[in-house]
Structure 1
Amino acid sequence: MVLEHYISELLYRYNCVMVPNFGAFLTQMKSAVIHSSTNAFYPPTKVVSFNEQVVTNDGLLVSYMADAEKVSYEDMLKKVADMTAEWKKRLQKGEKLRLENIGELSLNQAGKIQFQPHYNINYLTSSFGLSSFVSVPVTREVLKEEVETIEEKIPFVFTPEQRKTRSFRPYLKYAAVGLLAISLGLTGYRFINDNLGNQQLASEEAQEQVTKHIQEATFFDVEPLELPSISLDVLTVKPKADKKKNVRTHHVIAGAFRFRSNAEKKIRQLKRRGYNATYIGTNRHGLHMVNYDSYTDVDEALNALKAIKRTQSKDAWLLSTK
């Protein structure tokens, strides 16, 4: 019988496991931890501690062991008492009592039991499968620190001579550009003035020529030619009205179909019923239209539509075309 084995199993489910006449093993919740120096991440866990002052038997450990070993409660209680007595003797001799997956017990100089827990087992069931790991530090932070260190060791210094030399050259460049712009402006100004003068002279010469021709034309007296008069008799012919163009045809529509085959089928069906059904083409939506009959008299068409709506189909409607 291994007593620490049963204690370890109960620590997964309970926060306190009391060993009669010896002490109690306690667990306390601990949140996740991140160590900035080592970049290590630890999941939430239960920290195990020991209190030798709690020696009252609550029956949890003994009952659990009796059920597992298939013995009576009294027999198991006697076995646990013998085991704890052995533990105390070993501690009195100065030995360290190592409990697997729980921790290590020893006596200090004052005769009190000290406990050092083992961290290889996480008794928090909600953290099952989570283990600690070490993350690689981000490289860009390291490079940033190195650059800052280099800037502190090697500062950038500019002497007055360097600033004077570098600042004087741009002024020379700007001065050269300014002189070039001024020379081009003067040349362009002269060129424009010369062109304007030439245009003005040409305009004055043209005006003189036009005035001269007008003065010469006024010296001639030309009499107008007499033309014989002609009289025409115009016959006005009024076109005759085409009565056929004003005739409208009224169709009592039976339906519009997406496929021409369905329209032909509808025509055969209506003809069997005695109607003069025909195919009248497609509408603007590309549907094939079929009528019950066609009429030139609108009153006759309306009467036929009323009769068809009453006896055949309420969806019939009237279409008028030229």
Structure 2
Amino acid sequence: MQLESYISDLLYRYECVTVPEFGAFLTQRVSATIHESTNAFYPPKKKLSFNEQIQTNDGILTHYIADVEKIPFEEASKKIEKRVKALKSYLTEGETISFDSIGELSLNNDGKIIFEPSYHLNYLTDAFGLSQYVSPSVSREVYKEEVQEIEKVIPIAFTPERRKSRGYLKYAAVAVIALTLGGFVASNYYVENINSQNQIAQEEANLQLESKIQEATFVIENPLPAVTLNVTKKVGNYHLIAGAFRVEENSDKKVKELKALGYDAKKIGVNKYGLHEVVYASYQDRTDALNALREVKSSHNAAAWLLVKELD
């Protein structure tokens, strides 16, 4: 049995895929990154890790294998158990186990499993079709502006005859300079005058507004009635499955039965096989869901399993 292919399929949909009595493969979303030296753009992805401490069977992998191979749940569990024994034997002998598109597993000197993830496959479905992109470096030219004060005016050479006939040019130049300076002065005065008038008008408007607000405060005699908002707590994405039924009436009976036992049972819709799914409860936190799963499997239903799904 190619166990790694089933694990790879489930990593697209779940944050945690547990191999019973072996460990769990975890995923964590990582944002897009840029490599500073190579100018390479990497799309967002799911970062893989392995936790040897999580070994409790949550039913996800077993149910998936049973559905794909069309075999009973118990037979799928035995296949996984047989495969896990072989994997542990390989690791004990010092071999490195390679899971295609997932990573490599080996033992360190302390007998702990070391996981080296593979980067050949992106399990984040939101980034489907996105690949690494290398951008050429952008060259930027910095232009430095040099500001110089013009202190001298280049003189214009005139012949004596032209100086007499065109002496008016000197006076025209003086007139242009005078008009320009006068225009600047007048413009600045006009702008300052407008700003002053605007400030006065704004202060008067603020005084009138404060007066109106005070009057309105004392005019109100009957305050508006208080509004009561009923906020519904968001349903989590971790669902503790109690069963799936072809006939909807049977699912309703199961909900009533579980509620009578004190569970927050409900129906969460119809799955892709046309079965009405009933849950013991739904949780927002994965740890709470796993703790509840262990309790239910030990006290009420050994076949209960955990479904990670965002409800509409």
Q: TM-score, normalised by structure 1?
A: 0.46
Q: Which has the higher contact order (CA 8 A, sep 6+)?
A: 2
Q: Which has more helix, going by share of residues?
A: 1
Query: Which is higher, the Rg of structure 1 or of structure 2?
Result: 1
Q: TM-score, normalised by structure 2?
A: 0.47
